Amino acid sequence: MKKEFIINSLEEAEQTAKDFLSYIRKEFQDKKCIVFDAPMGAGKTTFIKALCKVLEVTDEVTSPTFSIVNEYLCKNGEKIYHFDLYRIKDLDEAMSAGTEEYIYGDTYCFIEWPEVIYPVLGDNVIEVTIRVTEDGKRIVSL
């Protein structure tokens, strides 16, 4: 099954995030780990910020490039985890950062640059790609 969402402009990111969350809640009720595969500058962090806004995160959402993981609190008390594994060199380093605990948790876990942890990702993961078209649109595919 392949589903696509198109973001025509930055102003549309939040509505696309709403549509995306509605879709995954319906189609993947028990899956909360979402990995984002996209090139640098494609909009991974921007889309994750829009998802967090829709999920009513009360904290500032920033890229966890240097901290590896950011924890955000939602208005309803739930937590969201946002990983950026760009600087992680191998699976052992990722595991020592505690990624496995988050991957199999029951709260949303958004992971940028997931390639290094693909060997431990199970069936509970939603794989998303983002590609940029020539006219600057973002196509978010499941």
Q: Which domains does the chain show, CATH number per domain?
A: 4-141 (3.40.50.300)
pLDDT tens, position by position, 20-34: 999 999 998 888 899
Give the chain's mean pLDDT.
Answer: 90
CA contacts within 13 A on the Cβ side of 140: 29
pLDDT at 98: 74
CA-nearest of 141, 142, 98, 87 to 120 is: 98
Contacts of 8 (CB under 8 A, 6+ apart): 137
pLDDT of residue 75: 96
Q: So what's the pLDDT on residue 21?
A: 96
pLDDT digits (tens, 9 = 90+) for 38-78: 999 999 999 999 999 999 999 989 888 778 889 999 999 99
**Least confidently predicted of 10-19, 55-64, 88-97:** 88-97
Give Cα separations from 93 to 11, 18, 30 (angstroms): 37, 34, 27
**What local confidence, expressed as pLDDT, does residue 22 receive?**
95
Q: From 140, 102, 133, 141, select the one nearest 120 (Cα to Cα).
A: 102
103: which 2 tokens? 């991957």
Band (pLDDT 50/70/90 cuts) for residue 1 is low
Q: What percent of the chain has pLDDT over 90?
A: 63
